Amino acid sequence: MHNLQIHAARKIVLKPLGALTPKPDEVLIRLGAGGICGSDLHYYFEGKNGSFVVREPMTPGHEASGVLEKVGSNVRGLEAGMKVAVNPSHPCGICPACRSGRENLCERMLFLGSASVFPHAQGMFADLFILGARQVTPVDAGVSLGELAFAEPLAVGLHAVQRAGGNLSGKRVLVTGAGTIGSLCALAAKLAGAAEVTVCDVLDRPLTIARQAGADHTFRSDTADAKDYAGRFDIALEAAGHPRALTTCLAGVKRGGVIVQVGTLPNEDLPFPANSIMAREIDYRGAFRWGIEFDWAVDYLASGKVNVKPLLTKQFALADAAAAFDLAADKTRATKVQVMGAGIPIEA
């Protein structure tokens, strides 16, 4: 039993775990599947994620499913052996953002697997870990641990759609970026009733995956002529985190359209397209993580209403995490790569 720690760029240490006993309101969780996300890759390859630098050994991982090992004495409704989705979000509950029902904007958020705070918020890439019982949602359906670990990134897509208006009935939607988040934004848009969802990227492989996942149309944004898609879309969801993708969104949406920024753009040297937004009355909105959409995502996965299987490229034992990170970083070969807890069978 090990806890995976990043000590510095490309330096992983698998630290043996001692005995772990949950307090009365806590549960001990065996990692089922843990999805490797862009932020985890930044921490591993660079020792930092934007301005968040790894200053002490940090366990990454915020996309996880698990199996309950032990439950604390006060915990009701949960028992050992249950398959659970794990919510990595710990909003404070009392700041103005939390009080207004927008917990994802919490001023004192503790989000697992993040160096945005010090001491760091330790993540879930460990064979066993303890969390408050309220962080887990049991599922009894036939959903696999690997699929269930998509609850977090699916929630990101569902939240982006909420920011785009929620009800997308009859809308034409463009998604820039065909990675995990882009594909899940596309799935979320279809769930919300979109008439047509188009996904673009600069690589062929992710576009193939996006079509398998349910996108209606795809195109290569690097070779397409903007004239062919200009003004075609009511809504654009920017999930590539690249300035050129934002340019594609601006060209793609019609006058009075909506752009939702989901991806993280570079901090520096970003020309802001204020006049295009002004003159065409574009609504340019941010979408950051999610709130109640996590619970919706768990329901959609458990009921089989969304199929995330095309997005799951490969699973590795936690002990092989370095190989998992290498594959996850290669977008020509991988969409979602997961690490699996000790004793959990590899499914993909």
Provide the binding-site residues for Zn ion, judged by CB under 5 A: 37, 63, 91-92, 95, 98, 106
To the nearest whole angstrom, how small is the minimum distance from the Cβ of residue 105 to Zn ion? 8
Omega prior to 310 cis, within 30 of 0: no
How big is the chain, counted in residues?
348
Closest CB to Zn ion among residues 172, 336: 336
The residue (of 68 and 98) whose beta carbon lies closer to Zn ion is: 98
Helix axis angle, 151-163 to 293-303, nearest 10°: 120
Cα 16 from Cα 3, distance rounded (Å):
6
Nearer to Zn ion, 152 or 234 (CB): 152
In the bound complex, what is the minimum distance in angstroms from residue 193's beta carbon to Zn ion?
Answer: 25
Strand 336-340 relative to strand 26-35, pairing: antiparallel
Identify the DSSP state of 243. Answer: H
Nearer to Zn ion, 67 or 97 (CB): 97
- Residues 105 and 97 sit within 8 Å (Cβ to Cβ): yes
Residue 180 CB, nearest distance to Zn ion (Å)?
A: 8
Cβ atoms within 10 Å of 226's Cβ, excluding its own: 13
| CB 229, min distance to Zn ion, A | 28
Distance in Å, CB of 16 to Zn ion, minimum: 27
Closest CB to Zn ion: residue number: 37
* Cβ proximity to Zn ion, 154 vs 282, nearer residue: 154
Minimal distance in Å, beta carbon 40 to Zn ion?
A: 8
- 35 or 252: whose CB is closer to Zn ion? 35
Virtual torsion, Cα 303, 307, 309, 311, nearest 10 deg: -130
C-alpha 279/C-alpha 286 separation (Å) is 20
Q: Which is nearer to Zn ion, 91 or 252 (CB)?
A: 91
- Sign, CA dihedral 292-296-298-299, equals positive
CB 101, min distance to Zn ion, A? 11
Three-state helix/strand/coil letters over 83-127: EEEECCEECCCCCHHHHCCCHHHCCCCEECCECCCCCCECCCCEC
- Cβ atoms of residues 210 and 182 within 8 Å: yes
In this complex, which beta carbon is closest to Zn ion, that of residue 63 or of residue 234?
63
Tokens of 100: 């207004």
- Tally of CB atoms within 10 A around 122: 20
- Residue 131 or 282: the one with the smaller Cβ distance to Zn ion is 131
What is the CB neighbour count within 10 angstroms for residue 102?
Answer: 14
User: Residue 30 CB, nearest distance to Zn ion (Å)?
Assistant: 21
Closest CB to Zn ion among residues 94, 346: 94
Would you say 308 and 150 are in contact if contact means Cβ atoms under 8 Å apart? Answer: yes
CB of 98: closest distance to Zn ion in angstroms?
3
Cα–chain center distance at 140: 23
Least spacing, CB of residue 96 vs Zn ion, in Å: 8
